[in-house]
Chain A
């Protein structure tokens, strides 16, 4: 069975500082990996996805994530945090063997940006 673990339910960084949100996955087959962001009272917006092309994936709003198979990790980073980055971030995995496979979400990490 597939799963994702997000380390830290809350992360606080100062504006302008590096953002690092950690995600580890478990999958018996090479997975598809995603990061979604949820702003207050809104839906889930795709930040970026890994589908086995480049291991370093660039997404929207300056975010990127690196797939590391040896560490089963897919951590999300952004060099310089902005106040507008405050939101909840979900790491997610799906099974590439099935076209209609469900997405398994992590528990989420709420990112707080300190002025």
Chain B
């Protein structure tokens, strides 16, 4: 069964550094998402992306965050200048919403640790 893949599985970065999290969504999916889960807390929506532009973003997704689909397969999340509070598990998801009610499929996540 096709799956969403995320790399790296764990990223350790110094505070203030830029970080790029990478995702390969399921190939025929059209909608892409990033979520994050701070340790011990619930999964929170960050941003949705369709047709090469952001569809919706949450309050968390400030100017330090950006997303890009640089080619036909990858979907990236960039944090320009990381802060300690950015430490979390980041999940990428994709969906084929051309049919109503299609669920989002999640990757295994990238654990981001900011030192």
Contact = CB atoms under 8 A, between A and B. Distances in A.
A100 B105 CA distance: 13
Contacts of B58: 102
A87 interface: no
A42 interface: yes
The 7 closest A-B pairs by CB, nearest first: A51-B101, A99-B97, A43-B108, A102-B45, A44-B106, A105-B43, A107-B42
A45 B104 CA distance: 10
Interface residues on A, range: 20 to 34
Given A44-B91, A51-B101, A102 B48 contact: yes
A46 interface: yes
Interface in B23-63: 31, 33, 35, 41-45, 48, 50, 55-56, 58
Contacts, number: 61
A43 B104 CA distance: 12
Nearest to B42: A107
Q: Is the interface of B mostly helix, strand, loop or mixed?
A: strand
Interface in A84-98: 90, 96
Interface in A23-75: 32, 34, 36, 42-46, 49, 51-52
B98 interface: yes
